[in-house]
Structure 1
Amino acid sequence: MKTWKLVSGILSMILFVIVTFQSCAAGVANSLEANGETSGSAGVLVAILMLAGGIVSVATRNAEKKGGNIALIVLFGLAALVGFTGFGSFSDLAIWAGWCLINAILAVVAIVTKK
């Protein structure tokens, strides 16, 4: 799981940049269309939680205790919840929320399989 935490943490930090730019574009489009959607704001929140989860994942990859995995479950789980409930016309947000859900599930697996 150490390798997965490192890889998923680095990928989450890289994806933060992509999700942030897409969310800003979606937010501008929502504002210009005045359609009342909040998918751009939800995307920014998902991006911030994804960055925080990536940092925690890299920082706690060698930790022996469960605290780091619990933090990953909370961060990535919250990001997945926000992403799936608020994607609206920004359909790519469901993809990023799926990535966060995968990371949260693997953090649960890491807790369960820990000796």
Structure 2
Amino acid sequence: MKIWKLVSGILSIIFFALVAMQSCAVGVANTLEDSGEVSSSAGILVAVLMLAGGIVSIATRGSEKRGSNIALLVLFGLAALLGFSNYGSYSDLTIWSGWCLINAVLAVVALALGSKQA
């Protein structure tokens, strides 16, 4: 699980920059169209939660404590929930929410494996 935490942390931090830029572009388009959608705001929140999850993932990669996996589950799970429920015209948000969902599921797996080893 150490390798998963390192790789997912690095990728999440890289994806943060991409999601944030896309969300800003979608925000400008939503403002110009006066569509009233909140997909760009949801994208920014998903990006921030993805960044926080990536940092926590890298910082706790050597730790086998339950708290780190629970924190990852909450951060990535909340990001996935926000993204899937508010994607609107920003359809790429479903891809990033899928990435967060994968990380949340793997945090559950790490949590389950950690409790069996203890």
Same fold (TM over 0.5): yes
Q: What is the DSSP-based 3-state SS (H/G/I as helix, E as strand, rest coil) of the residue aligned with 2:89?
A: coil
Rounded to whole Å, the distance in 2 between the matches of 1:28 and 1:39 is: 11
Other structure's SS at 1:108 match: helix
Q: Which residue of 2 aligns with 1:72?
A: 72
Q: Report the Cα offset of residue 64 of structure 1.
A: 2.2
Q: Which residue of 2 aligns with 1:48?
A: 48
**TM-score using structure 2 length:** 0.96
Q: Following superposition of structure 1 onto structure 2, how do residues 15-26 of structure 1 map, counting pairs within 5 Å?
A: 15-26=15-26
Aligned equivalents of 1:27, 1:75: Cα separation in 2: 23
Aligned to 1:29: 29
Between the two proteins, what is the percent identity of the paired residues?
A: 70
Match of 1:94 in 2: 94
What whole-Å deviation, never above 9, does each CA across 1:5-34 have from its counterpart, x for those lacking one? 000000000000000000000011001100
Structure 1 outlier segments of 4+, above 3 Å: none
In the alignment, residue 60 of structure 2 is paired with which amino acid?
A: T
Which residue of the partner structure matches residue 105 of structure 2? 105
Number of aligned positions between the proteins: 115
Q: Name the structure 2 match of 1:14.
A: 14
Aligned-residue Cα RMSD (Å) equals: 0.4
Instruction: Report how far residue 48 of structure 1 moved.
Output: 0.1
Structure 2 gap segments, 5+ residues each: none
